[in-house]
Amino acid sequence: MKVELYHASKYGNGAKVAEEFQRQMTMKGHAVNVHSIDDSKPKDLPPADLYVFGSPTRIGKPIGGMRRFLKKLDLPSHTKYAVFATHGAARPDKKTGKMPSDEELTKYQRSVPIMDEILQSKGMVKVAEMKVFVVELKGPLEEGWQKKVETFVAEILSKSPA
């Protein structure tokens, strides 16, 4: 399978996830090219069996550069895609010490649904999604994040012929 991965990464966390995804897919015999959206033109993507898009989360959404990149994509309808997002890990409220509820977390973890909405409006077909958490603003990634990437890879491969 040929995979093209496009990511945005302000502090390098998304780039680490992308590199680990590439490493794991390559070990299984698949070709993965990793690109930063800063160095790519959304209307000139090479052909692939699967496109993977990854974005950090800012105020509950994918960063503006990723949203603009996805909106400008020019890929055929029924193109397969997968998405991942990096999110800040949940922390207790500084005043009350209470952890945020699932409802509150959902409000600040909308990157995947927003990317899905943009891509599905273009007729693209989702294969898999992944959320990876960042312990502090600039990192590091949560403990065991490589296992999440492994599960993401397995899910993609289970739904993709080749």
Model pTM score: 0.93
List CB contacts of 79: < 8 A, sequence separation 6 or more.
51, 123, 124, 125
Residue 143: give the domain boundaries: 2-158
What would the pLDDT profile of 10-42 be if each residue is shown by its tens digit? 899 999 999 999 999 999 999 999 999 999 999
What would the pLDDT profile of 100-141 be if each residue is shown by its tens digit? 777 877 777 899 999 999 999 999 999 999 999 999 878 899
Q: Of all helices (H) and strands (E), which one includes residue 83?
A: strand 80-88
pLDDT at 21: 98
- What domain count does the chain have? 1
Burial degree of 16 (CB within 10 A; 0-12, 13-18, 19+): buried
Does residue 58 or residue 90 have the better pLDDT?
58
Does residue 95 or residue 62 have the better pLDDT?
62
CATH for 117? 3.40.50.360
pLDDT at 60: 86
